[in-house]
Amino acid sequence: MSKTWRAAAAKAANTELKMNIKNAEKLYNNSQGRKHLLDILSAGVDAAIPGEKTGRMVSIRGKTLIVKDERFPLEGIGRIYFVGTGKGSYPIALELERILGDHITEGVLAVKKGETRGLTYIRTVQAGHPIPDGGSVEAARQIAAILKKAGERDIVFAAITGGASAMTVLPPAGISLADLQQVNRLLLQSGGTIREMNTIRRHLCLLKGGKLLQLAQPAHVVTISLQTIDDSVMPWPDMSKADPTTFKDALDILRFYGLEAGTPPAVLDYLKAGMEHPERETLKTLDGIRQTMLYAGSPADACEAAAEKAKALGYSSHILATRIEGDASQLGVFLAGIANEIMAENRPFTRPCVLISGGETTVTIRGESGRGGPNMETVLGFLEYIAESPEWVFGAMDTDGTDGPTRYAGALADTAVKRAVESAGFSIRTQLQAHASEEALAAADALIETGHTGTNVMNLRVLLIGKGEG
């Protein structure tokens, strides 16, 4: 296979990296409002798939590798390596293969289990998410092995996106995979924010907290990521950024959520010992580190593209926020309140309008629970308080195509869905209390199925009010 043919094939494959709603026709159900909602969600997700933007930042022109504003003469580069992990990293890897071709000496990419697409120059390792598995450890070991090979004249491209915390783990000595799995389960059920969860995960992995950069020195590391959290709030991606949090912070979070009793003793011992051994801490500064950070997508990209699509469909569009955190179902209640106000009083926005929001919501689980995810819970919370009307349609989805531990991206809702849930014998409040949102929404044929989307910037929510069902 010639280098030219490979590059052409990779480019062709990249053009296909758009979100596909597998059950779109069924979801439409002859409803203009539903079709508009799904079109707006699709536009938002597509804008956050990072392949095209990667191609605008990295190129080879003549005998020079260009990385945004930096230029590297090819004759001065020793070897080019690639490492990657996360649910949005595949499109980045594919685009870099198109650009760099056989300039890539070696590469490895951790992909989420179920990702069947391959690459030409970069090998893939399937890894677990949201709970790490043996593939997560193997991917981390292979990434570390490549980083250790990198020398002063080498360049390492690192694609690090959301999901990396579970998909790539290199546990310290004395901590087992089973230990890490138990900690992750506790964190996912705690109701803690993603920032709090990652504070603990960073301190239980030898690649996170900037240590990927440290391991690759003296090579120049170019990290390409998706901007999921504002840098002023918390560093991201945490494998390639300095980390202000400490072992003490990690322990304080476990104590705050009452998780110490369920945490494996080896983990508690390691975190406590870390407070006495500053050399084990995550990187606190990038001084002296040769690195470049690039972002190929963000929550703002997704929300702005969704807003533009809404305008094109004839709505006034409003981005409420791109950084909303907190309890998933309560966010649904809040958005229902806004919708009820608009329908009753035509304020704070006039119909027809679309309200768009993004951010990472969480679910707090105590004891046994059913199946579902944060976006499904947001939809159920919305349904509990929304007034019946043909005017509104609401949808919430994870931009990576997986809502919690389910195979669905999220769900949509209108008055027909609310009636169908109740007709099937479900109490919305009871389903929320049991964290069993999936079965209730499945009974109403309201679940959105996309498979892997190729991105992961946040949850995306769209509330459409007006135009009715015509």
Residue 232 pLDDT greater than 50, yes or no: no
Q: Which CATH number fits domain 24-43+299-465: 2.60.40.10, 1.20.1260.10, 1.10.540.10, 3.40.1480.10?
A: 3.40.1480.10
Average pLDDT over residues 336-352: 97
Residue ranges of the chain assigned to CATH 3.40.1480.10: 24-43+299-465
Cα–Cα distance, 339 to 387 (Å, whole number):
9
Residue 147 scores a pLDDT above 70: yes
CATH number of the structural domain 50-170+205-245+282-295 = 3.40.50.10180
Q: What are phi and psi of 421, to 5 degrees?
A: -60, -45
Per-residue pLDDT, averaged over 324-333, amounts to: 94
Q: How many residues does the chain have?
A: 470
- Sorting pLDDT into bands at 50, 70 and 90, what band is 5? very low
| pLDDT surpasses 50 at 428 | yes
Percent of the chain with pLDDT over 70: 94
The mean pLDDT of 96-123, rounded to a whole number, is 94
Output the CA–CA distances (angstroms, integers) from residue 242 to 37, 68, 259, in the order listed.
Answer: 39, 22, 26
pLDDT band at 360 (very low <50, low <70, confident <90, very high): confident
Q: What is the per-residue pLDDT for 114?
A: 84
pLDDT of 164 > 50? The answer is yes
Average pLDDT over residues 328-347: 97
| Average predicted confidence (pLDDT) for the chain | 92
Per-residue pLDDT band for 368 (boundaries 50, 70, 90) equals confident
What was the pLDDT predicted at 6? 43
Distance CA 297, CA 224 (A): 10
Q: What is the pLDDT of residue 257?
A: 95
Q: What local confidence, expressed as pLDDT, does residue 234 receive?
A: 46
- Angstrom distance (rounded) from CA 111 to CA 119: 11
Residue pair 24/108 in contact by the 8 Å Cβ criterion: no
Residue 27, sorted as left (phi over 0), alpha (psi -120 to 50) or beta, turns out to be alpha
**What per-residue string of b and e applies to 427-466 under the rule 16 or more CB within 10 Å gives b?**
ebeebbebbbbbbbbbbbebbbbbbbbbbbbbbbbbbbbb
Distance from chain centroid for Cα 142: 23
How far apart CA 343 and CA 91 sit, in angstroms, is 41
What is the pLDDT confidence band of residue 162, given thresholds at 50, 70 and 90?
Answer: confident
Distances (CA, A) of 22 to 46, 393, 397, 421, 451: 15, 19, 14, 22, 8
- For residue 235, pLDDT beyond 80: no
pTM for the model stands at 0.86
Numbered ranges of CATH 3.40.50.10180 in the chain: 50-170+205-245+282-295
Rounded to 5 degrees, φ, ψ at 340 are -60, -40
